[in-house]
Structure 1
Amino acid sequence: MTSQVTPQEQDYPLSPVPMDQRRSIWSMGLVLLGFTFFTATMWAGGSIGVAFDFSTMLLVLAAGNLLLGTYAAILGYIAAKSGLNTALMSRFTFGELGSKLSDFILGFTQIGWYAWGTATMAILLVKLTGLPESWTTPLMVVFGFGFCITAFIGYKGLEMLSRFAVPAMIILVAVSMTIATSDAGGFSGLLAITPSDEMTVAAAITMVFGTFVSGGTQATNWTRFAKSGKTAVIATLLAFFLGNGLMTLIGAFGALVYQQADIVDIMVAQGLATLGILMLFLNLWTTQDNTVYNFAVAGCNMIRTRRRKLVTVGGAAIGTVLAVLGMYEWLIPFLVLLGTFIPPIGGVIMASYFIGYKREYPSLETATLPAFNIPGLAAYAIGSAAAYTSPWIAPIVGVLVAAASYGVVLVVSEAVRDRRAQVLGAV
Structure 2
Amino acid sequence: MGSTPVESESGSNPESPENDESHEEYMLAAVPKTERRSWWSMFVIWAAFGYVPTGLIVGGQLAGSDDGGGMPFSGAVGTIVVGQGILVVLTFLLGFAAMKTGFNLSLMSRYSYGNRGIVLPMFIMALLTLGWFASIVGMVGDIFDAAFGSWTGVMVFDNLSLEFVIFSLIWGAVFTYSAWKGIVALERISAPAAPFILVVAIIVVLMMVNEFGGFGNVLSEGATRAGTSVGTGVTLIMGAWIAGVIMGVDIFRYAKNAAHVFIGVGACFILTNPLLNLIGYTAQISSGDANFIAWMVTSGWVLTILGVVLWVLALWTTNMTELYCNALYVGASANAVGKRIPRGPIVIIAGIIGTILGAFGFYSYFFADFITILGAAFVPLAGPILADFYVVRRREYDEAHPNDLPPVRWPGIISFLIGAVLGIVFQYWMPLPLDFPAGLAALIIAFIVHIVISKGMANRPEQELVQSAARVG
- Please give the TM-score of this superposition, normalised by the length of structure 2: 0.83
Q: Would the alpha carbon gap of residues 202 and 56 (structure 1) be closer, same or farther in structure 2, given more than 3 Å must change?
A: same
1 CA distance for matches of 2:380 and 2:137? 28
Deviation at 1:164, TM superposition (A): 1.2
In the TM superposition, what are the counterparts of 1:200-219 in structure 2 within 5 Å?
A: 200-219=229-248
Q: Could you tell me which of 331, 341, 346 is aligned with 2:382?
A: 346
Deviation at 1:414, TM superposition (A): 5.0
Q: Could you tell me which of 109, 120, 125 is aligned with 1:90?
A: 109
2 CA distance for matches of 1:215 and 1:411? 30
1 CA distance for matches of 2:310 and 2:145? 15
Kindly provide the amino acid, as one letter, of the partner of residue 217 in structure 1. Answer: I
Deviation at 1:353, TM superposition (A): 0.8
The answer as to 2:169 corresponding to 1:141 is yes
Q: Which residue of 1 aligns with 2:350?
A: 315
The answer as to 2:297 corresponding to 1:268 is yes
Deviation at 1:413, TM superposition (A): 4.5
Q: Would the alpha carbon gap of residues 2 and 411 (structure 1) be closer, same or farther in structure 2, given more than 3 Å must change?
A: closer
Q: Could you tell me which of 307, 310, 314 is aligned with 1:283?
A: 314
Q: Could you tell me which of 294, 297, 320 is aligned with 2:325?
A: 294
Q: Would the alpha carbon gap of residues 2 and 396 (structure 1) be closer, same or farther in structure 2, given more than 3 Å must change?
A: closer
The answer as to 2:174 corresponding to 1:152 is no
Q: Would the alpha carbon gap of residues 4 and 367 (structure 1) be closer, same or farther in structure 2, given more than 3 Å must change?
A: closer
The answer as to 2:149 corresponding to 1:114 is no
Q: Would the alpha carbon gap of residues 199 and 318 (structure 1) be closer, same or farther in structure 2, given more than 3 Å must change?
A: same
1 CA distance for matches of 2:16 and 2:36? 23
Q: Could you tell me which of 126, 130, 145 is aligned with 1:126?
A: 145
SS at match of 1:147: helix
SS at match of 1:10: coil
Q: Would the alpha carbon gap of residues 2 and 374 (structure 1) be closer, same or farther in structure 2, given more than 3 Å must change?
A: closer
Structure 2, unmatched stretches of 5+, are: 1-12, 65-69, 152-160, 462-473
Q: Which residue of 2 aligns with 1:179?
A: 207
Q: Which residue of 2 aligns with 1:103?
A: 122
Q: Would the alpha carbon gap of residues 397 and 377 (structure 1) be closer, same or farther in structure 2, given more than 3 Å must change?
A: same
- Bigger drift between 379-388 and 347-356 goes to 379-388
- Bigger drift between 227-236 and 67-76 goes to 227-236
- Bigger drift between 134-143 and 232-241 goes to 232-241
Over the aligned positions, Cα root-mean-square deviation in angstroms equals 2.3
Q: Deviations over 1:307-327 (max 9, x none)?
A: 212211111111012213421
- Please give the TM-score of this superposition, normalised by the length of structure 1: 0.91
Deviation at 1:21, TM superposition (A): 0.6
2 CA distance for matches of 1:231 and 1:359? 23
2 CA distance for matches of 1:57 and 1:356? 38
Deviation at 1:203, TM superposition (A): 1.9
Preserved contact between residue 16 and residue 28 of structure 2 (Cα < 8 Å): no
Preserved contact between residue 15 and residue 29 of structure 2 (Cα < 8 Å): no
1 CA distance for matches of 2:410 and 2:212? 56
1 CA distance for matches of 2:322 and 2:363? 16
The answer as to 2:442 corresponding to 1:398 is yes
Kindly provide the amino acid, as one letter, of the partner of residue 330 in structure 2. Answer: G
1 CA distance for matches of 2:389 and 2:29? 17
State how many pairs are aligned.
Answer: 417
Q: Could you tell me which of 393, 411, 421 is aligned with 1:357?
A: 393
Deviation at 1:216, TM superposition (A): 1.1
1 CA distance for matches of 2:402 and 2:195? 44
Q: Could you tell me which of 37, 43, 63 is aligned with 1:49?
A: 63
Q: Could you tell me which of 186, 203, 217 is aligned with 1:189?
A: 217
Kindly provide the amino acid, as one letter, of the partner of residue 320 in structure 1. Answer: T
Q: Would the alpha carbon gap of residues 366 and 260 (structure 1) be closer, same or farther in structure 2, given more than 3 Å must change?
A: closer
Q: Could you tell me which of 254, 257, 260 is aligned with 1:225?
A: 254
Preserved contact between residue 51 and residue 276 of structure 2 (Cα < 8 Å): yes
Q: Name the one with the larger helix percent.
A: 1
2 CA distance for matches of 1:385 and 1:366? 28
The answer as to 2:288 corresponding to 1:248 is no
The answer as to 2:452 corresponding to 1:408 is yes
SS at match of 2:108: helix
SS at match of 2:397: coil
Preserved contact between residue 73 and residue 237 of structure 1 (Cα < 8 Å): no
- Bigger drift between 31-40 and 358-367 goes to 358-367
Q: Which residue of 1 aligns with 2:87?
A: 68
Q: Which residue of 2 aligns with 1:381?
A: 417
Q: Would the alpha carbon gap of residues 352 and 4 (structure 1) be closer, same or farther in structure 2, given more than 3 Å must change?
A: closer
Preserved contact between residue 355 and residue 410 of structure 1 (Cα < 8 Å): no
Q: Could you tell me which of 309, 327, 335 is aligned with 2:371?
A: 335
Deviation at 1:364, TM superposition (A): 5.8
Q: Which residue of 2 aligns with 1:238?
A: 267
Deviation at 1:206, TM superposition (A): 1.0
Preserved contact between residue 379 and residue 406 of structure 1 (Cα < 8 Å): yes
Q: Among the aligned pairs, what percent are the same residue? A: 25
1 CA distance for matches of 2:399 and 2:343? 22
Q: Deviations over 1:284-309 (max 9, x none)?
A: 10111110001011111111246212
Kindly provide the amino acid, as one letter, of the partner of residue 104 in structure 1. Answer: F
1 CA distance for matches of 2:349 and 2:388? 32
Preserved contact between residue 79 and residue 223 of structure 1 (Cα < 8 Å): yes
Preserved contact between residue 17 and residue 26 of structure 2 (Cα < 8 Å): no
SS at match of 1:226: coil
Deviation at 1:360, TM superposition (A): 5.1
- Bigger drift between 113-122 and 261-270 goes to 261-270
SS at match of 2:178: helix
The answer as to 2:98 corresponding to 1:79 is yes
Deviation at 1:154, TM superposition (A): 0.7
Q: Which residue of 2 aligns with 1:10?
A: 24
